[in-house]
Amino acid sequence: MNILVTGGTGFIGRWVVGRLLRDGHKVWVIDNLANSSLENVNEFLDNKNLQMVKIMDLKDREPLHELFRETTFELCYHLAASINVQDSIDDPETTFNNDTVATFYLLEECRRQQVKIVFMSTCMVYARASDEHGIDEQSPIKPASPYAGAKIAAENMVLSYFFAYGLPAVVVRPFNTYGPFQRTGGEGGVVAIFIHNKLKGEPLNIYGEGTQSRDLLYVADCADFVVEAGYSDQLNGEIVNAGTGRDISINQLAELISKGQVPIHHIPHIHPQSEIQKLLCNFQKAEKTLSWTPKVTIEEGIKQTEKWIQSTFHRKEPFKS
């Protein structure tokens, strides 16, 4: 197939691109590099099926239209987005434009060619899990930040194109994803930030009391889920979750990563109003429709992530197992 990946040089996007190339598809990548780097796809540049890696902002409608005019796509994975909760609180307009308006522009191009779209949403649209059943696709949503609100708005636009125009479309809601190639600064995920700080010998800072929990999904498992959602026709017009079915408190996560090698501090939460106290995924729908289950445990995932961060950012420091 001819497949377009927006945000394809990003953390999850580069893993999606890698899986698609391994499956033998021709892949076009566009990204504005706001949350990513071209270095993330360096290992794929010699692959004959990687057709293009282009710096492009989806809000620039003419270049986007030209791309669709030049190439006939069969599938589009839309991963490009503003993803930082605090940034969305500080500057909601940018997040809305990048996550909702840009999605509309892409939908219009997909509609003209009837290109199936897989829209990457987030578990952050949900209210907290109320019990150990976890959050399924019928669980209540709660736009506790402009980021979550923009994603919900974009989800609804994507699904509306399925119902109004018959455009094949699926919304995927992965839970908190971590792994190699995730940024280790403030815009990164908690696992990457904790590991990076540990390797620097610095304290692990936890926002609030640390009792909030997360269902942490390894990025290779996430990418497989996203790709499979595009391959299947069973989920058109629907929303589907991916996670591990196991949550861990941030306090427990910090202990697991620090291994007593660095101190753990609690600091005031930067956005307590947007905190979700318990995120636990029920992924039965993905398991049933896609035969997908996560393969990587949190312990193994942390090990692999630490190896990558060690080799990428801490080459001069001895590796601590």
Q: Tell me the per-residue pLDDT of 232-270, one tens digit each, with 9 for 90 and over.
A: 999 999 999 999 999 999 999 999 999 999 999 999 998
Tokens of 258: 């620090």
**Same-domain status, 57 and 197:** no
In a domain, 46, yes or no: yes
CATH number of the domain that 153 lies in? 3.40.50.720
pLDDT of residue 280: 97
Q: Name 238's Cβ contacts closer than 8 Å, sequence gap at least 6.
A: 137, 170, 171
Q: Select which of 77, 126, 147, 218 is catalytic.
A: 147
Give the pLDDT band of residue 188 (cuts 50, 70, 90): low
In the chain, the amino acid numbered 221 is D
**Same-domain status, 118 and 194:** no
In the chain, the amino acid numbered 275 is E
User: In terms of C-beta density within 10 A (0-12 exposed, 13-18 middle, 19 or more buried), how is residue 112 classed?
Assistant: exposed
Q: Which H/E stretch holds residue 225?
A: helix 219-231
**Same-domain status, 110 and 132:** yes
In the chain, the amino acid numbered 104 is F
Compute the radius of gyration of the chain from its Cα atoms. 19
pLDDT of residue 271: 87
In a domain, 286, yes or no: no
Half-sphere exposure of 107 (CA within 13 A, CB side): 24
**Same-domain status, 54 and 175:** yes
Give the rounded percent of residues in the chain with a pLDDT score beyond 70: 97
pLDDT digits (tens, 9 = 90+) for 34-53: 989 999 999 999 999 999 99
Q: Please confirm, yes or no, whether 147 is among the known catalytic residues.
A: yes
In a domain, 229, yes or no: yes
Q: Closest Cα to residue 151, out of 251, 274, 258, 297?
A: 274
Whether the CB-CB separation of 237 and 176 falls below 8 Å is answered with no
**Same-domain status, 99 and 117:** yes
**Same-domain status, 21 and 71:** yes
d(C-alpha 278, C-alpha 258), whole Å: 22
- Listing DSSP states for 13-55 in one string gives HHHHHHHHHHTT-EEEEEE--SS--GGGGGGGTT-TTEEEEEE
pLDDT of residue 274: 86
Whether the CB-CB separation of 99 and 26 falls below 8 Å is answered with no
Q: Which domain holds residue 102?
A: 2-179+218-242
**Same-domain status, 68 and 156:** yes
**Same-domain status, 45 and 22:** yes
**Same-domain status, 20 and 169:** yes
Is the four-CA dihedral 254, 178, 229, 141 of positive or negative sign? positive
pLDDT digits (tens, 9 = 90+) for 63-85: 999 999 999 999 999 999 999 99
pLDDT of residue 2: 98
**Same-domain status, 101 and 238:** yes
pLDDT of residue 318: 43
d(C-alpha 216, C-alpha 278), whole Å: 12
CATH number of the domain that 255 lies in? 3.90.25.10
In the predicted structure, residue 316 carries a pLDDT above the cut 70? no
